[in-house]
Every structure is written in C-alpha cells, then in structure tokens.
Chains A and B, each alone.
Chain A
Amino acid sequence: MIEIEAIYLLLSAFAIISALLVFLMKRLLHAAMALTITFVISAILFAAIGQAFIGLLQILIFVGGLSAYLIAAVATETKSKSMLKTKPFFASAIVLSIALTAIISSIPQAAYLQSTFQSSASMMFSQYYMLLFIMMILLFSTAIGGVLIIKRFRKLVV
C-alpha cells in the first residue's frame, strides 16, 4: 500500500514539475514538450486508478493528436518566449494551490457532495445529453472554421 502511495506521489511530483516547466522553459518547443509530458503523466495516473480506457483516450487525443499538432506548429519558432516574471508566478501559484485545497477540505459533508454528484451525473446522462451533443457540434464547427481561417491566411501571405 505504501508503495502504491509512493508511486502516486512520484507521478504527481513529475506532473507538477512538468507543468511548471511549461512556463519556465524559454523556447516554445520545449514548453510544448513539457505540456506533452503532463498529458502523458495524467494518462498514466488515470490508468493507475482503474480508468485505463480514459487514459488510453487521453493518450490518443492529447498526445497523439493535439501535442503532435502543436509541436509541429511551434517547432520552427526559435525566439525566446519568456516574458514571465518568475517571483509573482511562483507566489501566486503557491497561494492559489493552498487556497483551493483549503476550500475543498473545508466542505463538511462529503456524503452530501457524493449524492448530489451522483444525481447530477445521472441527470446529465439521461435528460440533458442533447445539450452535450449540441455543444460538441458547435465546437467541432469551430475547429473546421479554424482550419478555413488558416487557409485564408495562407492565401493572404503567399
């Protein structure tokens, strides 16, 4: 049991370090690679808690699709991206982490949260599933619009 907790802690530490490296790396390519590592570690964590299918989908969509696309796009950028003021970044990240953890741990009745969560989830899957599909269609049309805009930029530039 201790070994499993140690593995969780180790993976969480790696995820936090790679999330920090997204902002601390100076080149965009390295930042995108650090983001990819965060995606991979989150997928491993999903598999570790028994949701292997979601971990697999996470790998397929985020790592295989989005990260490859992102890295291919920003690979040619050689300028430094760093406009970050490091001290306010770390201070605000630490304060926000502590505040969010304090808020969630101050919720008194976890059982009440669990029951409302179950009822809302069942409503989402039974009554309001059409809203989700409409949202998906809208977002998909946004993606197609983005591709069309890129084509228009190419015509403008070339």
Chain B
Amino acid sequence: MFPYLIELAFVIFAIGLAGIASDRHFVAILLAVELILVASIIALVSFFTSASSASASPVIMLIAIWSVAATEIIVLITFYVYMKYNGVSFDITTLSKMKW
C-alpha cells in the first residue's frame, strides 16, 4: 500500500549506519543513531499502517522508541557539555583519556 516507506526507512538506516562507521566525531555519531531511530519509527509506522487491524495502534511501541531518542539526546548533551568545558577532543578515538 505504501511501497516507498520501507525502502525510505532502509535508506535512512543505511545512511545512519554508514555515518557511524565512517565518522569519528562524537556528536555526529550520536546524530547518526538518531537517524537510525527515525528509520525504525518509519518502518514501524508503515508496517502497522499496512498490516495491522484498526484496533491496534503503534503508539505504545513508538513511545519506547521516542523515550530512547530522548534519552540519547540527554546523553549527547551531557557528554557534549562535559567534553566542551573540560577540553576533551570530540574525536572518539581519544575517549580513553576522559576521566572524572
């Protein structure tokens, strides 16, 4: 019924995964994880819309994904503030030098 949405979800997922694999910036990697979460939301909603009955709603599952995304933004901003004000490099290959 909605033929392009699954492919769109896959393409966005692949872009996010490729970004994780080929970028070393900490914030960019977490933005890539956000992209993967958006792709999962698109896939979930398109599956539900085309496959489920009218009584089922994807909102409860979506709340789980939304809470993961919200928590990830919190973690991103927490580490961003820590790294920026403590002079830690955003390159994740130097994350072993991060200490309390």
| Interface residues of chain A: helix, strand, loop or mixed (majority) | helix
Whether A84 pairs with B23 at a CB distance below 8 angstroms is yes
Whether B18 pairs with A118 at a CB distance below 8 angstroms is no
| Interface residues of chain B: helix, strand, loop or mixed (majority) | helix
* A96 to B53 CA separation, bound complex (whole angstroms): 32
* A31, CB-defined interface residue at 8 Å: yes
* A15 to B52 CA separation, bound complex (whole angstroms): 25
Which residues B9-41 have CB closer than 8 A to chain A?
10-19, 21-25, 27-28, 31-32, 34-35, 38, 41
Which residues B31-80 have CB closer than 8 A to chain A?
31-32, 34-35, 38, 41-42, 45-49, 51-53, 56, 58-64, 66-71, 73-78, 80
Total contacting residues, chain A, CB less than 8 A:
75
Q: How large is the interface on B (under 10, 10 to 19, 20 to 34, 35 or more residues)?
A: 35 or more
* A157, CB-defined interface residue at 8 Å: yes
**A101 / chain B contacts, CB cutoff of 8 Å:** 7, 10
Which residues B66-96 have CB closer than 8 A to chain A?
66-71, 73-78, 80-82, 84-86, 90-91
A70, closest chain B residue (CB): B73
Say whether, besides A84-B23, A125-B56, A142 and B74 are in contact (CB < 8 Å): yes
* B98, CB-defined interface residue at 8 Å: no
Whether A97 pairs with B14 at a CB distance below 8 angstroms is yes
A34, closest chain B residue (CB): B31
Which residues A18-49 have CB closer than 8 A to chain B?
19-20, 22-23, 28, 31-32, 35, 38-39, 42, 45-46, 49
* A150 to B74 CA separation, bound complex (whole angstroms): 9
Which residues A38-71 have CB closer than 8 A to chain B?
38-39, 42, 45-46, 49-51, 53-54, 57-58, 61-62, 65-66, 69-70
Say whether, besides A49-B46, A49-B49, A74 and B12 are in contact (CB < 8 Å): no
* Given pairs A62-B69, A96-B14, A149-B82, 11 additional interface contacts (CB within 8 A): A16-B8, A22-B28, A49-B5, A51-B48, A54-B59, A89-B19, A89-B22, A104-B10, A125-B56, A136-B67, A143-B70
